[in-house]
Structure 1
Amino acid sequence: MTDFDFAARVGRVEPSATLAISNLANELEADGIDVVDLSVGEPDFDTPDNIKQAAEASLEAGDTGYTSSNGIPELREAIADKLRADDIDCTADNVVVTPGGKQALYELFHTLIDQGDEVVLLDPAWVSYEAQAKMAGADLSRVDLSPYGFQLEPALDDLAGAVSDDTELLVVNSPSNPTGAVYSDAALEGVRDLAVEHDVTVISDEMYDEITYGVEQTSLGSLEGMGDRTLTVNGFSKAYAMTGWRLGYFCAPEDFVSQAGKIQSHSVSCAVNFVQHAGVEALRNTDEAVGEMRDAFRERRDMLADLFADHGVDVPVGDGAFYMMLPVDEDDQAWCEGAIEEAHVATVPGSAFGTPGYARLSYAASQERLQEGVERLAEHDYI
């Protein structure tokens, strides 16, 4: 047996906690146990029919070969149109289409970050930010939003204490995974002021921008002074129920695109051809389907909050995405393991997102399953 001398970068990261819980749920289900899986951030809706039909038509048309590395012109134009509607100054030349949002983030981190560069995260932060930053060699500085109900605006002084002239990159995710928080314009303006003052680049992850409830999400790159220092990430997985299609993108200044394009061309080459054609259809003709999914998520959010309130549990309710952070024992890892083993309800420990004492729940499940999950947690004294 060969003793591999593994690269330091893989030793810096742990496997995805979300997928680990999901794998445990799958193992229990394979043994015939019914698990209410609230762990995975995946819409429980099917991809809208018009998107699937566009993919089928693309296949029939023979769109099965490589595309240009940065994406087909039609999709890059459609993405640029979408971003301009969000008040971001963007053309097709600023867009790179990637096989999923994670690949977009990978290219951004590895284009910008050298060993020892400082990256600032807002906790709780999506687990892959930490992993991607560490693989790129970054040193992390973290700002805890949990004392402020997961909102950024009241934490701006804390953020100001973390961001300095030594900061290379700040990551902002609004609407947030895992909290569902949608940051106010005042919060984003505070980020802008710090970024300009200290000459910091900002990743604005807007993967959930189409899933908001009663509020409008503002794109950070639309603010004055942020156009040339914001790397906007988005994709098709959440809003269009296209997780398995693996389609994402980023928008960045052209000089950044030219460098990041090297990573894309030497790694994944390009996103799948016919999937890109489906993406054009998704952006142009699915407002009604997206609205129906959004309405369903809002009803589930409100119902879930009411169910917890009935059991005397006050859960912070976000205005976007489809997640809640449930306050649990300080040892949230043990709580989550017990919840799945005893109550057969799968959640993700908050410590995986940098915030112990919570469990993330995804309400991308039917109302019946959400109610069943809460009843099981109550029956086994987990709430």
Structure 2
Amino acid sequence: MIEPSHYLSETVKGLKPSGIRKFFDLAASMEGVISLGVGEPDFVTPWAVREASILSLEQGHTSYTANAGLLELREVISDYLLKVSKQSYNPKEEILVTVGASQALDVALRAIVNPGDEVIVIEPSFVSYASLVSLAGGTPISLQTEGDMEFKLQPKELEKVITDKTKAIILCSPSNPTGTVLDKEELEGIAEIIEKHDLLVISDEIYAELTYDRDYTSFVSIEGMRERTILVSGFSKGFAMTGWRLGYIAAQPEFLGAMLKIHQYSMMCAPTMAQYAAIEAMKNGQEDVYFMKKSYRQRRNLFVNALNEMGLTCHVPGGAFYVFPSIKATNLTSEEFAEQLLIEEKVAVVPGNVFGDSGEGYIRCSYASSLEQLQEALKRMQRFIEKRV
């Protein structure tokens, strides 16, 4: 008998399992749980988008596409990015269709990171960022942000963690898990530091369609940042297409070519029928996006007001579909709060510490659930809080 652990990668052995899964595995074993944890829309993919995929199957489009994706899809992505970011991308040389934004992040990091390179991860952060940096052979450097500043990255704090080994920074606006949105002026302040220290940016813009109080500002629209930025996005959140696993990368040709090589060897191409669905979503899906966005905004307002009223201080998130309230008033840790709330009231939330040390004392709640479920969850949370505050 062999000892498998003897053969495993030391990097992989050192990775922590996703902290989110622990609570949802437990929640799945219980009856009557209201989940406020899963980061996906509660809407079904719009019918016209599903129909486009069905039609592609009926027409026999079941073979591989070009490694970079269907040219028609890359063309509509290019048109879309020109509208939202005011930047033009050549669909033949600067856009790559990936298997979700997650694969896009993976190939982006593997394309630019050498052993020993440092990549700055802004916390609280999406759980995969630091691990993907490690898998690419780099060193993730945590940069903590503060709740009383709405978890916004401060340029002076960014500059403090930059070293001669720093290669890039991962930026996410709107943010998962906090919902924080950086405006143009704030992005310009970050851009100055990026340019000063000759860094790259991986800009995760998967929630770009879901901003509620102002127009979205893409990082590539900031002067001088297009050439330094690998833009990552996809269809999962704004278009309610999580299960379709379709994302994309936009970057200058040299970066794109490097990422395409990794994509060719590891994935070949994204699912063909999903690509045809995405063409329809990009061409004709904006009314559906607007409808979903309007609904999310209504739920956000309800949820944030209720949380603040019950004593869980929470800033108003400008985008995505998450709130990140403080639970410090309960004197419980994030994990204690999440575990006890699940066991006592059957409401599943994500403890903030799984998103980094600066998330301790907070929880993440997704409001991508029906109003009825949100109202019931709030009643249960109110009951839970009253016993402790």
Task: For 2:167 and 2:155, locate their aligned partners in 1 and report how far apart those are by CA, in whole Å.
Answer: 18
> Which of structure 1's runs of 4+ aligned residues deviate more than 4 A?
none
Task: For 1:17 and 1:249, locate their aligned partners in 2 and report how far apart those are by CA, in whole Å.
Answer: 26
User: Counterpart amino acid of 2:306?
Assistant: L
Report if the CA contact (8 A) 1:124-1:146 is conserved: no
CA-to-partner distance for each residue in 1:179-235, whole Å, 9 max, x for gaps? 111102121111211111111010111100000112111111122111111000000
Task: For 2:76 and 2:163, locate their aligned partners in 1 and report how far apart those are by CA, in whole Å.
Answer: 37
Alignment of 1:180-195 (within 5 A): 180-195=179-194
User: Counterpart amino acid of 2:355?
Assistant: F
Alignment of 1:1-383 (within 5 A): 1-4=1-4, 5-28=7-30, 33-85=31-83, 86-92=85-91, 93-152=93-152, 155-329=154-328, 331-354=333-356, 355-381=359-385
The CA deviation at 1:151 is 4.3
Task: For 1:377 and 1:27, locate their aligned partners in 2 and report how far apart those are by CA, in whole Å.
Answer: 20
Structure 2 residues not aligned, in runs of 5+:
none
Task: For 1:116 and 1:340, locate their aligned partners in 2 and report how far apart those are by CA, in whole Å.
Answer: 41
- More deviation in 218-227 or 325-334? 325-334
Q: Work out the number of aligned pairs and report it.
A: 378
User: Counterpart amino acid of 1:323?
Assistant: Y
After TM superposition, the score normalised by the length of structure 2 is 0.94
Report if the CA contact (8 A) 1:100-1:246 is conserved: yes
- More deviation in 363-372 or 308-317? 308-317
Structure 1 residues not aligned, in runs of 5+:
none
Task: For 1:91 and 1:22, locate their aligned partners in 2 and report how far apart those are by CA, in whole Å.
Answer: 41
- 2:208 alignment partner, SS class: coil
After TM superposition, the score normalised by the length of structure 1 is 0.95
Report if the CA contact (8 A) 2:146-2:152 is conserved: no
Task: For 1:56 and 1:49, locate their aligned partners in 2 and report how far apart those are by CA, in whole Å.
Answer: 10
Judged with a 3 Å threshold, the aligned counterparts in structure 2 of structure 1 residues 380 and 147 are, in CA distance, closer, same or farther, namely closer
Task: For 1:246 and 1:220, locate their aligned partners in 2 and report how far apart those are by CA, in whole Å.
Answer: 24
Task: For 2:380 and 2:304, locate their aligned partners in 1 and report how far apart those are by CA, in whole Å.
Answer: 16
Report if the CA contact (8 A) 1:89-1:222 is conserved: no
Report if the CA contact (8 A) 1:149-1:316 is conserved: no
The CA deviation at 1:16 is 1.6
Task: For 1:7 and 1:313, locate their aligned partners in 2 and report how far apart those are by CA, in whole Å.
Answer: 42
Identity %: 37
Task: For 2:311 and 2:363, locate their aligned partners in 1 and report how far apart those are by CA, in whole Å.
Answer: 17
Task: For 1:218 and 1:164, locate their aligned partners in 2 and report how far apart those are by CA, in whole Å.
Answer: 28
- More deviation in 8-17 or 52-61? 8-17
The CA deviation at 1:270 is 0.5
- 2:311 alignment partner, SS class: coil
